[in-house]
C-alpha cells in the first residue's frame, strides 16, 4: 500500500482520488495565504524566543516564510492541489527555502485548527480595512453631491407616494448615515474579533511553554481567546462580518433601487453617466442603469452567503468539525462582493446628474404640503386630529375638481374651516414648508448645512 505522507504513519493508503478532490479547499484558501504566512512568522518568532526552536532554526523559518510571502505577492507561488489546503502548501514550500528540518519544526505547539482560526481573523482585519476605505469614499461622494444640492427641493416619499417636500441634500445625507453605521459595525466586530486563538491547539491547548500573549502582540492583536474549545470552533467573527456586509448591501440595494427608479422617464429625476450605464442589444434608444441593478442584485448573493454559514454552523457540536471548511467560500465571496459593490457605487455617484427642475416640478402634484395646512390650523388652536380631518376634506375636493391646493381661493378654504386666513397660502409654499422644519435632523437649510459640515469634519479624520 502507498503511504499517505501528508498525515504520517497512521495511514497505509493514499486518499481516494474523488475524496481528495472533494475535500480540497485550496481555491478558497488562497485568499488567506498571506494571513497564514503572517501568523506563522509570529508563531516562529515566539517559538525561538521561548527556546522551542533554536535561534538558527528561527532565522531559517523567518527567511523562508518571507520568501514564501514574496512569491505569494508576486503571484508565482507553486500551488500543489495534492496537499489539500493552504497550510500544507505553505509548509511544503517553506521546506524548499528553509530546509525540511527547520520547516518541520514550525508546527510545534500548533494545530491547523487554531492556525486557520487565526488566519481568518487576520484576513478579516485586512479585508474589512479595505471595505471600510470604500465606505469612506462612498460617504464623501454622497456628501459632495449633497453640498451641490442644498437648494434643490424634491418630494420626500412614503409608500412610494409623494409625501412632503425635502431637500435633495437631506435625502442624500440619509444614505450617508446608513454608510456611517456600516463603518461602525466593522469597528465593533473587529474589537471582538482581533484576539489570538493560537495556542489553543486542536482543541485542548498545548503542553509546550509557549507565550500566547507574545504572538498576539507581534500580530497587533488586543489579546488572546479565553477557551481553547471555543477558540477553534468559533466562527462568530465571520458571521458578524457577513451580517455587517448583508446590512450594508441592503443599504446599497435601497440606494440602487432609487437610482433605477429616478432614472426612468416616469420619474426623470436623474441621468447616470454613460460610463456606468449600458445599451440594449436590440433597442437602440435604451440607456440602462445596469451598475445600480447589479448592486441591487448582489445584495441577495451576500445575504445568501450569510445564511449558508449560519446553516453550516447551527448543528455542530464542540469543537472543530470539517464542515467548517465551508466557511471561507461564503466569507470570501461575501467580502469580495461587498467591497466591489461599495466601490462601484462610490465611483458612480459623481457621474449622476440630478435634474433639479424635474424634482421641483414634482412638488406641484400630489398635495405634498397638505400636512402644512393641518399644522397651520394647529397654530390657530385647532386640535391636530380635527385639522387632519379638515385638510383631508380639502384634498378630497381638490381631487374631485382636478385642482391643486394653491388653486383654491381663501373663501373655499374658509368653507372648510373658519381658521384659514391669507397666511394659509404661505404655508403651502414648498420652500417655506421645508424651512419651517427647524429641528435637528430635519431638512431646513441651516440644519442640512450643519449636517454637511459635521460629515466632512468626521470624514476628514478618516483620511
What residues act catalytically?
Answer: 159, 280
H or E segment at 353? strand 352-354
- List Cβ neighbours of 428 (8 Å cut-off, separation of 6 or more): 369, 372, 373, 405, 406
Residue with cell 530546509: 99
Question: Do the beta carbons of residue 209 and residue 50 sit within 8 Å?
Answer: yes
User: Which triple of cell numbers denotes residue 257?
Assistant: 433601487
Planar angle of CA 318, 321, 327, nearest 5 degrees:
110
Could you tell me how many residues make up the chain?
A: 463
6 and 73 in contact (C-beta within 8 Å)?
A: no
Taking residue 255's Cβ as centre, other Cβ atoms within 10 Å add up to: 22
Question: What's the CA gap between 106 and 84, in Å, rounded?
Answer: 18
Q: State the Cα–Cα distance between residues 304 and 341, nearest whole angstrom.
A: 16
Provide DSSP, 24-45: --HHHHGGGHHHHHHHHHHHHH
The Cα 60–Cα 48 span in angstroms is 11
CB 200 within 8 A of CB 113: yes
Give 90's Cβ-side CA count (13 Å radius): 32
| Closest C-alpha among 380, 282, 368, 296 to residue 337 | 296
DSSP E strands, 112-269: 153-158, 161-167
Contact 404, 365 (CB under 8 A): yes
Whether residue 319 has a cis bond before it, omega within 30° of 0: yes
Q: Closest by alpha carbon to 455, among 220, 140, 192, 38? A: 140
Question: Nearest 5°: phi and psi at 29?
Answer: -65, -25
Q: Can you name the residues that pair with 157 across neighbouring β-strands?
A: 162
Classified as helix, coil or strand, 160 is: coil
Amino acid at each position: 500500500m502507498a503511504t499517505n505522507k501528508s498525515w504520517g504513519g497512521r495511514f497505509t493508503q493514499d486518499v481516494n482520488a474523488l475524496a481528495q478532490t472533494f475535500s480540497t479547499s485550496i481555491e478558497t484558501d488562497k485568499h488567506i495565504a498571506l494571513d497564514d504566512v503572517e501568523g506563522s512568522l509570529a508563531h516562529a518568532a515566539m517559538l525561538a524566543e521561548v527556546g522551542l526552536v533554536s535561534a538558527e532554526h528561527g532565522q531559517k523559518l523567518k527567511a523562508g516564510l518571507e520568501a514564501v510571502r514574496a512569491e505569494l505577492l508576486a503571484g508565482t507561488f507553486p500551488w500543489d492541489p495534492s496537499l489539500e489546503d493552504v497550510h500544507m502548501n505553505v509548509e511544503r514550500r517553506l521546506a524548499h527555502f528553509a530546509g525540511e528540518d527547520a520547516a518541520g519544526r514550525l508546527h510545534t505547539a500548533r494545530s491547523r485548527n487554531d492556525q486557520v482560526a487565526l488566519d481568518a481573523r487576520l484576513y478579516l482585519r485586512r479585508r474589512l480595512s479595505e471595505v471600510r476605505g470604500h465606505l469612506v469614499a462612498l460617504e464623501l461622494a454622497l456628501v459632495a453631491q449633497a453640498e451641490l444640492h442644498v437648494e434643490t427641493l424634491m418630494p420626500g416619499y412614503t409608500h412610494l407616494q409623494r409625501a412632503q417636500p425635502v431637500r435633495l441634500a437631506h435625502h442624500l445625507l440619509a444614505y450617508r448615515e446608513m454608510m456611517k453605521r456600516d463603518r461602525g459595525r466593522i469597528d465593533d466586530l473587529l474589537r471582538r474579533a482581533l484576539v489570538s486563538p493560537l495556542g489553543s491547539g486542536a482543541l485542548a491547548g498545548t503542553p509546550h511553554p509557549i507565550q500566547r500573549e507574545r504572538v498576539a502582540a507581534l500580530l497587533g492583536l488586543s489579546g488572546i481567546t479565553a477557551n481553547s474549545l471555543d477558540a477553534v470552533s468559533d466562527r462568530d467573527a465571520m458571521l458578524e462580518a457577513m451580517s455587517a456586509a448583508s446590512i450594508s448591501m441592503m443599504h446599497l440595494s435601497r440606494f440602487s433601487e432609487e437610482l433605477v427608479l429616478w432614472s426612468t422617464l416616469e420619474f426623470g429625476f436623474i441621468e447616470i453617466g454613460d460610463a456606468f450605464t449600458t445599451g440594449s442589444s436590440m433597442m437602440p434608444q435604451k440607456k440602462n442603469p445596469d451598475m445600480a441593478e447589479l448592486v441591487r442584485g448582489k445584495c441577495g448573493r451576500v445575504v445568501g452567503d450569510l445564511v449558508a454559514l449560519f446553516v453550516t454552523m447551527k448543528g455542530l457540536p464542540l469543537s472543530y468539525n470539517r464542515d467548517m471548511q465551508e466557511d471561507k467560500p461564503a466569507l470570501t465571496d461575501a467580502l469580495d462582493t461587498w467591497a466591489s459593490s461599495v466601490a462601484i457605487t462610490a465611483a458612480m455617484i459623481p457621474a449622476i446628474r440630478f435634474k433639479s427642475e424635474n424634482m421641483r416640478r414634482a412638488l406641484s402634484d400630489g398635495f405634498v404640503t397638505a400636512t402644512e395646512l393641518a399644522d397651520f390650523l394647529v397654530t390657530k388652536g385647532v386640535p391636530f386630529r380635527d385639522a387632519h380631518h379638515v385638510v383631508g376634506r380639502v384634498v378630497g375636493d381638490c381631487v374631485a375638481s382636478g385642482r391643486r391646493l394653491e388653486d383654491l381661493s381663501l373663501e373655499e378654504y374658509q368653507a372648510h374651516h373658519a381658521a384659514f386666513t391669507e397666511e394659509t397660502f404661505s404655508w403651502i409654499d414648498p420652500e417655506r414648508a421645508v424651512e419651517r422644519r427647524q429641528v435637528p435632523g430635519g431638512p431646513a437649510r441651516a440644519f442640512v448645512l450643519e449636517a454637511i459640515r459635521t460629515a466632512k469634519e468626521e470624514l476628514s479624520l478618516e483620511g
